[in-house]
Each structure stands twice: as C-alpha cells, then as structure tokens.
Structure 1
Amino acid sequence: MMSTAQERWRRVPPWAVDAGLVVLAALDAWINLYDEATPFMWACAALGCAGLLLRRRFPLTVFLSTLPMTLFMDVAVAPIAALYTLATRTRNRPLLAGCALLNAAASTLAWPLSDTFSGDTFPGERTWTLIQFVYTLATAFAPILFGQLVQARHDVARQLVEVEVAREHERALYAQTVLARERAQLAREMHDVVSHQVSLIAVQAGALQVAAKDPDARDAARTIRTLSVNTLDELRHMVTLLRASSGKETELTPQPTLADLQQLIANSGIETTLTGGLPPGISTTAQRTVYRTVQEALTNVRKHAPGARAEVRLWHDAQHFGVTVTNTAPTRPSVALPSARHGLIGLRERAELLGGALTAEPSPQGGYKIELRAPTRPA
C-alpha cells in the first residue's frame, strides 16, 4: 500500500506541487494578515508566496524572500517549505542553522523593531518573547531535519545503486575468471591429446610416404602428412588463443580468402575441378564464407565418399552469388567416423549472417550437393 502511494506521489508533476504550495502559502498569509495591512505588507506576502515557484532552483534566495512576510504575520507554510527545500539541496549545516535563527528572529520580533527593544516593554513580555523565540526556533529546525533526512535517504539509495553496479562488475569478473580457467583447461587437452595424436598421424604418414612403392599410396601418404601438418599449425594457433589472458589481445590466424581457394583444392587429396567465378568487390566476410563452405564440403567428401570426384562451381547473377559443391557417388566403402554435423550448422549460420541460405541434400546420381546462395547487396 505504501509503495503504491509513493508511486502515485512521484507521478505528480513538480510544477503542480509548487503551485499547490503557493496556494497554501497565500491562504495562510491571507488568514493571518491584519485588517490594517498596508500595500507594503501585501507586497511582502506576495513576494514570499510567489517565490515558492522557484524554490527548487534558488532555495536560499526563496527562503530570504519569505523573511519580510514573517515580520508582519504569523505564517508557517512559506518559510517551512523554503527551509525544507534548502535542507534538501545543501550540506552546509552552519548555513542551515543560521537560516533557522533568522526565521525564528523574524517570527518573534515585533514590527517595528523599536517596539521590541524599547524600555516600555514589560519583563514578562520579554520573557514571553524569549519563550516564543525558542519555540519558533525548534519549529524551524523540524523541516531542516526532515530535509536532511530526505537528502540522506537519497544518498543511501544512490550508494545502493553503486553497490549493485559493483556487484555486477564483480560477477562479470568472476565469470571471466571461470571462462579463462575453462579455456586454459581446454587448451591443455588440445595440446596434450589432440595435438599428440595428429603428430603421430603426420609421423606415420611420412614413414608410409618413404616406404610405399605404389605411387598412389605415396600420393595419399603425402596428402595425409600435409593435412596433418596444417592441422597441427591451426591447433597451435588455437591453443595460443585459448591461453591468452583476457587483458591482452592475440592475433588470429590470417583468415582465408578466395585467393586461397586453389591451394585448398590442391591439398584436399580429392580429384576436384574449379569453375566459374564470383562478382568483383564482394566483402572479405563473403569470401571467407565461400572458402569455409568449400572446405567443409571437401572434408565431408573425404570422410563419407572415398574415391568420389568433386566439382566446385562459383557463380553469380544480378541479385545473388554463391558456390555449389557436388560430388559423385563413393567408389570405396567409407569408414564410420564420429560426426555431430556441427560443420553444416556453422555454415548455415555463416550464410544467415550474409542474408542468404545454405542447402545440403543428396544428388540423384548418388552423390551429394551443397550450395551457398547469398544476395549481392545484403539488405
């Protein structure tokens, strides 16, 4: 219930609150004005009441403008509102104490001031004046203390926000630490297990290349050794990247482009023909996507269609460009290899980044077809 009331109060525009205070202060002044009020007294009352409209911008000036009206009448709304606003805007406590003394003095002293300090004043009247001064001073300190309390509440709320931001930063740092630890563990596994096994493959392929008498067997061993060496090189770069600290940047391996496509086909170990071309001036990201598509397609041919031939066709028209990789049916039985189809998923994501699509399906001749299609000018 309290939270709902606070939300409703916060929805009230500040100008409406200030206008309401002006009306209350004017009503308070009108009730307490004497019948013989002079135009000067009316002017002082109007100045003190109207000044509340500027209390948020000039709190000290507005408070001083309420002092003249307190000399002529027993008002409370205007000086209390001005003191409260000043207390919420400043941390100068001596200034606040001085303003409270000024308000109490202006409310207690009689006008004209000569009547207050004249010799005709009875001792009882002076005592009553002193009591009234103390009472008015205590009353003046009430809005000051409340305003300081509101200011402290705002400070605490701001500090709580800062603490929450600091906690979010600590949680982010902790997450980065955990991620760095996992990356380091992954780097160790890749270095100790995967790199070791690929190294053995390269060594065995080199030995087979030297010992084999059949030319086809030597060519196959040479291809296996070349691919193993390239894989080891990429693994080293990946391990270096994974072990890099979060505060330092590590250069990535230079990313392939269309200029590297011919070398990729030559090292694939598959009888492959490359035809067609792409439009000039396509982005580096598009070139890299085409390269990775061909790379993944040829890898799948080696894994699932031994002895098959492949054709890589680059093409483009007025609106689209792409690459089509087809392979014939395998001529030898394939060896069952583990696959989670992450390669095709990654290719589809790359194609979507270009605004295109990737299709992969068997061909009527018993082979397989992978096609990348992307718009020449992405939307």
Structure 2
Amino acid sequence: MSTTGARVPGEEAEAGARSWSGLWWWTRRRSVALDVSLAAASALESAFEGAEFTTKVGIPSGLGALLGLLVGAMLVLRRRWPIAVVLVAIAVTPAQTGLILSMVGFYTLAASEVPRRLTVLFAAMSGVGTMAVAFVSIESSVRHSSSRLGLPLVLAVSILVAVGLTVPPVLFGLYVRARRRLVETLRDRADGLERELELLAEKAAERAERARAAERARIAREMHDVVAHRVSLMVVHAAALKSVALKDPQKASASAELLGDMGRQALTELREMLGVLRSASGPGTAPPRAAPVLGGAVDLPGPAASGATGASGAVGASGGGPAPGHEADTGPSLAELAQLVQESRAAGMGVELAVEGEQRPCGRRIEATVYRVVQEALTNVRKHAVGARAQVRLAYREAEVAVLIVNGPAEAVAAALPSGGHGLTGMRERVTAHGGGFAAGPTPDGGFRVSAMVPTAT
C-alpha cells in the first residue's frame, strides 16, 4: 500500500513563507526538533523493551535492543509515511514493544489526510493485537500468582487496556484534523471577504469618480446657462449701441444703462449659483443620481407623443424618477418667464409667450429646469437665427409641465457669437434627469423647434 505524500494539515507551513528553505519533508525547524526528540524517546523505549522480550524467548538481548532502536527510530518518518509507521507499530505489538511508536503513530495517522476508514481499520487491528497480548500477559501472571481472577474479568481488563492504548490517540488526532480544517475554512472565508472588500472599494471609487464627473458637468451646465444668455443679450445691445451712439444719444444712453443692468444681473446670478455650489459641497452631500431613461418624445400643444423628431435627433423621454438629489432647491421660477421674454424683446427679438392650463407651483427644481430650457432656446435663436420670430408656449397639465419653443427661419446672417455646441445637450440632461422627455430639431419652414416635458408628480 503506497503512503507517499500523506500530510498532516496545519502542521506544515508553506516553504516559501519562511526564511528556512526546509529539510526533506520538514518545512520548519521545530518540526525537525519535535520528530527527532520523539524518535529518540521511542528508540530508547523500544530498545529497552526489545532487550527484555528477547531475553524471555532466549535470544541475545543485544540483538533485541538493536532491533528496538531501529523500530523506535521509525517514528522520525511519521509525517512522510504515517501508514508505514503504524504498520510497524502493529507488527511489533506481540513483542510488547513500541508503546510511544504506536500512540504517536496513530495520532499522526488520524490527523493526516489519510481516509478515515483506513485509520479505523488500522486502529481495530492494533486494538485486537493489543487485547490479545494483554490477555496472554495477564492470564499468565494470574496463573503464576495463583490468583482467583476469572476469565471474564481478565478479558474485560484486556479490552480496557487495548481501548486505552488505541482509542485516545485516534480520537485526539481526529479532533486536531477537524480543528485544522475549520481553521483553514475560516481563513479561506477571511481571504474571500478581503477580496470582496477590495472589489467594493474599487466600485466605490468608480462611483465617486462618476459622481465627480457628473458634478463637473452640472456645474458647467449651470455656468453655460447663466453666462450665455446674459452675454448674448449684452452683445446684441452692444452692437445696437454702436449703431445709434452718434445718431440718437438718448437711445444710446438707455442702451448703455440696460447693458450695465444685464451685466449686474449676470454677476448676481453667478454669485447665487456659486454660493449654492459651496453650500452643496459639504461633507453630508450625496452625489448626484441619474434617473432611468425610457422612450418617448413630447410636443405642444396636445398629449405627449412617442418617437423622435427633428434632423438633429430627438431624445426620448426618461422614466419617472426623482430629481437629482444634489441639485439645490434654488433657481429661477416659471413666474420669471415673462421677464425673460421681455429681456429678449428689449434686445430686438420678436418673442411671444402663451400659457395654457391653470398655473400652479411645480417644485423649485422642475420650474428651474423648464426656465433654463426656455432661456437656452432663446439664446440659441439670438445666436443662430438673427431676426427670426420665436414663440414660447407653456402648458400646465395634470401630472406634468410642458414647454415648446419654435422659431422661424433667420432673416439675417448670424452674428459671430461663440458657441460650445453643448446647449441642446445641457437641456436634454436637465430634462431627462427629472424623468422627462426632450426633443429638438428643424421645422419644415427652415426654423427650429425645441420641446420638453417634465413630470411634476415625483
């Protein structure tokens, strides 16, 4: 029977984990010291018992002592070949030799990776042999001492001796084996939890990076909405001021005053927005959370229509969801749309405003979103459709508020105003973040159309 490769779990460490390179099958110095010490004790005990046994049977005691030394020294091989050690211990049982060899060998066998049925088999063989030797020895002693011990009592004592010498080391070895397996299982679980924690940390870092990117995009969108509208109006008024400065000084003075008012309004809005960003960047602020996107576009007047329109690509409606949790509850309201339209009219732009439905509060964030959509749409008209007339239609519906901005074709070449190309993207992001729908594209007559729907029930 081959026993090569049997090992005792937990008694051997990884060879590379320690500075000592190892010796044969030992990986630790203390393992060598322990096994050599046990083998020396077993050899001395077996030599003494072997000499005593050979004297009884008429063999020179020196030969018995030498055989006992060899048999006891076999214990040094217990980690490498535990089955061989146990078989030697069973073989010398009739000579009443190798008590240490037998007990340590059975402990090692039970604690190793050898199948349990082999351990039980060898333990039964050793137990039967020990019981037979004990029975013969006790019965002989009783006969020579003229004691009146009965045969059943001698048999019982023999069984107790056999059980006492065989069962305890086997049970202790099985206990150590189970305990080491439990420790290995717990260690594997700890390693698994550590790996899971590392993965969670990586995912948290990715989520934080996405949140920072979303916050940067939101800040850029706010800056674009605030600056682009006011600056475009200031550019228009500056051009008008240049053309009437010499012809109509009074009108030029009024335009200059209006230009200063617009600059101050732009600075005021920037200060308010930066103040909100500072207060919203505190330690308890949650990162922005995007809403899920569904399908559908919107048009005015009439119910929301599914699909996409416009050559520039309409964007479908987003599914109902809460507004971004990071956006502040401040900003313009729908009540300020009239003033926004009036500012565009003052810049020479033909704008009409129509409101449908019963006006009601829709939530600060929703109203600010609709306001910014109208603001950016009118800014785009001034940039890309000079002289075109625009219509703004606002509709209050049962569970949503919708807006439509339509302008006709340009009547003049567009002024060279800077444009980042992110206006429509910013409007789309604002609307879809609230679970609404957004669509934009050219009209058949050469104009442009922007429509948005934002649900009010969150």
TM-score by length of 1: 0.49
Which structure shows the higher helix fraction?
1
Instruction: Report which of the two structures shows the higher radius of gyration computed on alpha carbons.
Output: 2
Q: Which has the higher contact order (CA 8 A, sep 6+)?
A: 2
TM-score by length of 2: 0.42
